[in-house]
Amino acid sequence: MSVTAEARVTGAELIEEVLKAYPEKSAKRRAKHLTVHEEGKSDCDVKSNIKSLPGVMTVRGCAYAGSKGVVWGPIKDMIHISHGPVGCGQYSWASRRNYYIGTTGIDSFGTMQFTSDFQEKDIVFGGDKKLEKIIDEIEVLFPLNKGISIQSECPIGLIGDDIEAVAKKKTKEYDGKTIVPVRCEGFRGVSQSLGHHIANDTIRDFIFDKVDPEKNKFVATPYDVAIIGDYNIGGDAWSSRILLEEMGLRVIAQWSGDGSIAELENTPKAKLNILHCYRSMNYISRHMEEKYGIPWVEYNFFGPSKIEESLRKIAGFFDDSIKEKTEEVIAKYKALTDAVIEKYKTRLQGKRVMLFVGGLRPRHVIGAYEDLGMEVVGTGYEFGHNDDYQRTTDYVKDGTLIYDDVTGYEFEKFVEAIQPDLVGSGIKEKYVFQKMGVPFRQMHSWDYSGPYHGYDGFAIFARDMDMAINNPVWALTKTPWKK
Amino acid sequence: MSQSADKILDHFNLFREPEYKEMFAKKKAEFEYPVPAEDLQHTIEWTKTADYREKNFAREALTVNPAKACQPLGAVFAANGFEGTLPFVHGSQGCVAYYRSHFSRHFKEPTSCVSSSMTEDAAVFGGLNNMIDGLANAHSLYKPKMIAVSTTCMAEVIGDDINAYIKTAKEKGSVPQEYDVPFAHTPAFVGSHITGYDNALMGVIKHFWDGKAGTVPALVREPNDSINFIGGFDGYVVGNNREIRRIFDQFDINYTMLCDPSDAWDTPTDGEFRMYDGGTTLEDTANALHAKATIVMQSISTEKTAAFIEAHGQEVVHLHHPVGVAGTDKLLMELSRITGKDIPEELTRERGRLVDAIADSSAHLHGKKFALYGDPDLMLGLTAFLLELGAEPVHVLSTNGNKDWAEKVQALLDASPFGKNCHAYPGKDLWHMRSLLFTEPVDFLIGNTYGKYLDRDTKTPLIRIGFPIFDRHHKHRYPVWGYQGSLNVLVTILDKIFDEMDNDTNGIATTDYSFDIIR
């Protein structure tokens, strides 16, 4: 039996074993989310984007997290109101590391928590009046804000508040000011994912469709592109942007890390939308393609192999001058990536990784690990859809364990059995695996490091993976006098 | 290109390189349509003024940077303090992801908790099926000894009857009939995380004392000589509960710590993940009814629970997060009074050592002005301690403190000459604090991690005491209670004072005459 066939059998046995712990009905439902990948298939063959089972400890968040936390929150010169009780805004306050440059509290508001702090009377009598007053108070105290979004928490949709009417009224009152009501109540949908979609739709409806296209006196060039779906975690969008500019392109907007409202407004003038996080922003990219005829292209800026491939793919949309410069960029960074690989590959060669993340990362980072001689033996999406799993087949090898919306129990058992050299997941998972003596990196927040995108980011990525795996602490976890 | 394999630059230094700085400037100028520089400068300065403060304090609806979280967070904290207990939050699932992340960022530990994952259909039809399936799944997978149920605002708004739901789930066989599933309603739109702690803790105690939701006869109190201890919602629970145990052991008192997550949030890294560790046993929780008295360390955080215990015939000693000499004296004297035992000599010596340390350092503390914010009980404890040190707690702010709390703070301030011109600010947030710090500056700020934004904006050095502390490690392992804990607080404050003193006197050939080697 070949190695991969063996992996497939062990993987299938492992899944079977894990499912035994569930009540019968739940085991049946979970079985559809777990599989061992077979090379050559065009799909991972798992169910996805359906409801999590109650009580199983899903890693998933909610629509509010997808809208406020992911899409809207990073737009720095707008104020995003967490509309409802205090908690949602508190727990998501500045925790996602969407870097930006600006004077916080004056012309930028990214690391602040604006909330309507709902009380019982707001639930009973409705919160619309309070919302109106909040907008008035914002206009007095934060006069340089360039727009307001209303991020609905669970109660808003349940008590029948009309935030759209409030937004409309206040927009009129403040001379056409951009005020965006977002129906991202946490109970909508099955994960963050619907929140992304809802947020995308509100950008379409309240930015594209409402704002005067001539507002910004924007002069277009043939080389204008927009970065879509990069949240600038630890500066990712910056270490990406620098490459695009070196290629000769003009990045007219960042969606949404370090983004501003003017950048959103001007995006329909781009010649090409380049899309990193497909999951969270494919909706608006498709819309711009349909409405404004802007093509979009997916790219991957993790690790030199994928970066090189992506740079050429993007350059393919432009003339020879761009293509030439792109080759120069690739050549320019070759020495850096060779040196990074030479330094770290010997230390990381053959190390096995298990991932469980959101967005694009369960597939996108695989190439970067492979550039370092590492192997991804298990991966899964927190809130992926079928099109994500289809795309994943281009990345994963035969025998890779695939787990959609993994539960705490499954993940622990999988790692226990597979014994990877590294687990990459989130803060909720980090300490579980470190207790088990397994090296871990947070692959949402880059574990407070980063950037990981682009050539500059790859060096940091390599350093961090080495730091995690070859940390001397892992030699200390076994107590010498205990058998 | 600044990056190299030899010296890898990450976000701290990479973006200070010229190619990035140039890129940022271009992005701003060409694509951000920034506000004119003079408007920016004007607004920056305006937010520092008395005029801005007046407008800021006139806010009636908007909350900016509050220092409080919502009820279910406290409920998860409370549930985590019981043996083998899995917190189960009935409502939307995103909330649970937030609570788990929040605690893990503070304690650097895993936090296990499940959700009943209610979605649109549950919003319409109620979450009964979610409860039935959720309890069954959680019980099968995670084999807890007890599942403690609380609620998110979604379940509360639609009015789910969780008592009835749990009963139905038991009938459907989700968990055995006699299995312990205490519950509490913890709506996020009432109170704060400390209210949720209170409700959930009372839910657990009530379950065991009052006949498990009508399924068994209520227990009958048979008083014994044991003492109960309730710490309240406490970011230092790991260090504090161990320190309190040490004190009780020195007294040789029989005691029950009601809600003790100090082991669950401090498990070793030794190759094994312990989903549950330590905690108050279910048996001890039931037997706590018979105790002679209960010490409540943070009365505001435990209002309802305390009243419930009193109604069951026990004396309750109400404290407000005692820190310092007099605060700890009171704790020990109350313990002595209730138990009839003398205060152990070793603790008496510890008292003397704390007084010794204060005397040694008081020249650096005397008259220093402080602003502080946090949970109401913590504020009362710290205010009393600062006054004891001869420092001035000029601004004492609590987002989840009410008028009664403010009166208590005022009483402390009025009783000390160092409390003159000091004020309590109930229900205010950190944006109010920003105005206070600009218009009535102080020497130091005491608060949680979010205070770093105030430190940056107003240049008031932040001393990190409170919850959450995300950006410093392991502080929760050190107690802030007892004489030893108070010594930790004293040293934390002094370290910052001395660091600032050095930072302020290290100008070569300008100020470094005062860069003293002995302080």
Instruction: Single out the catalytic residue among A63, A65, A154, A462.
Output: A65
Distance CA B7, CA A473 (A): 23
B64-96 burial: b if 16+ Cβ within 10 Å, else e: bbbbbbbbbbbbbbbbbbbbbbbbbbbbbbbbb
Which residues of chain B make contact with A263, given a CB cutoff of 8 A?
31-32
Q: Using CB atoms, which residue from B6, B273, B457 is nearest to A432?
A: B273
Q: With pLDDT > 70 as the criterion, what percentage of chain A qualifies?
A: 99
pLDDT bracket for residue A2 (50, 70, 90):
low
What's chain A's length in residues?
483
Q: Does A460 touch chain B (CB under 8 A)?
A: yes
pLDDT of residue A1: 42
Is B89 annotated in the active site? no
List CB contacts of B98: < 8 A, sequence separation 6 or more: A61, A65, A87, A88, A91, A92
Q: Does B115 touch chain A (CB under 8 A)?
A: yes
List CB contacts of A444: < 8 A, sequence separation 6 or more: A96, A233, A357, A358, A361, A426, A427
Q: Would you give per-residue pLDDT tens digits along chain B (519 residues)?
A: 899 999 999 999 999 999 999 999 999 999 999 999 999 999 999 999 999 999 999 999 999 999 999 999 999 999 999 999 999 999 999 999 999 999 999 999 999 999 999 999 999 999 999 999 999 999 999 999 999 999 999 999 999 999 999 999 999 999 999 999 999 999 999 999 999 999 999 999 999 999 999 999 999 999 999 999 999 999 999 999 999 999 999 999 999 999 999 999 999 999 999 999 999 999 999 999 999 999 999 999 999 999 999 999 999 999 999 999 999 999 999 999 999 999 999 999 999 999 999 999 999 999 999 999 999 999 999 999 999 999 999 999 999 999 999 999 999 999 999 999 999 999 999 999 999 999 999 999 999 999 999 999 999 999 999 999 999 999 999 999 999 999 999 999 999 999 999 999 999 999 999 999 999
Q: Do A431 and B187 touch (CB under 8 A)?
A: no
Q: What residue in B sits closest to A114 (Cα-Cα)? A: B64
HEC assignment per residue over B454-473: HHHHHCCCEEECCCCCCCCC
Is A62 annotated in the active site? yes
Q: Does B171 touch chain A (CB under 8 A)?
A: no
Q: In what order do the strands lie in the sheet with A296-298?
A: A250-256, A224-230, A272-275, A296-298
Residue B437 Cα, gap to closest chain A Cα (Å): 15
Give chain A's mean pLDDT. 97
pLDDT of residue B87: 98
pLDDT of residue A3: 56
pLDDT at A8 over 90: no
Q: Do A339 and B65 touch (CB under 8 A)?
A: no
Q: In what order do the strands lie in the sheet with B227-230?
A: B255-257, B227-230, B293-296, B315-318
pLDDT bracket for residue A409 (50, 70, 90):
very high
The residue type of A125 is F
A11-38 burial: b if 16+ Cβ within 10 Å, else e: beebbeebbebbbeebbebbbebbbbbe
Distance CA A216, CA A214 (A): 6
Is A453 annotated in the active site? no
Q: Do B141 and A114 touch (CB under 8 A)?
A: no
Which residues of chain B make contact with A428, given a CB cutoff of 8 A?
97, 100-101, 104, 110-111
CA-closest candidate to residue A227, choices A264, A261, A201: A264
What's chain B's length in residues?
519
Q: Does A437 touch chain B (CB under 8 A)?
A: yes
Q: Does B400 touch chain A (CB under 8 A)?
A: no
In A199-312, beta strands by DSSP E: 224-230, 250-256, 272-275, 296-298
Q: What residue in A sits closest to B432 (Cα-Cα)? A: A141
pLDDT at A352 over 90: yes
In A296-361, beta strands by DSSP E: 296-298, 352-355
Q: Do B94 and A60 touch (CB under 8 A)?
A: yes
Q: Does B93 touch chain A (CB under 8 A)?
A: yes
pLDDT of residue B1: 85
pLDDT bracket for residue A9 (50, 70, 90):
confident
Q: Does B434 touch chain A (CB under 8 A)?
A: yes
pLDDT at A155 over 70: yes
Distance CA B509, CA B519 (A): 20
Coil, helix or strand at residue B291: coil
Mean pLDDT computed over A128-154: 98
Residue B94 Cα, gap to closest chain A Cα (Å): 4
Residues 57-96 of A with CB under 8 A from B: 57-65, 77, 84-88, 90-93, 95
Q: What residue in A sits closest to B18 (Cα-Cα)? A: A242
Which residues of chain B make contact with A481, given a CB cutoff of 8 A?
none
A136-146 burial: b if 16+ Cβ within 10 Å, else e: bbbbebbebbb
| Residues B256-313 pLDDT 10s | 999 999 999 999 999 999 999 999 999 999 999 999 999 999 999 999 999 999 999 9
Instruction: Single out the catalytic residue among B114, B153, B204, B396.
Output: B153
ipTM attached to this prediction? 0.98
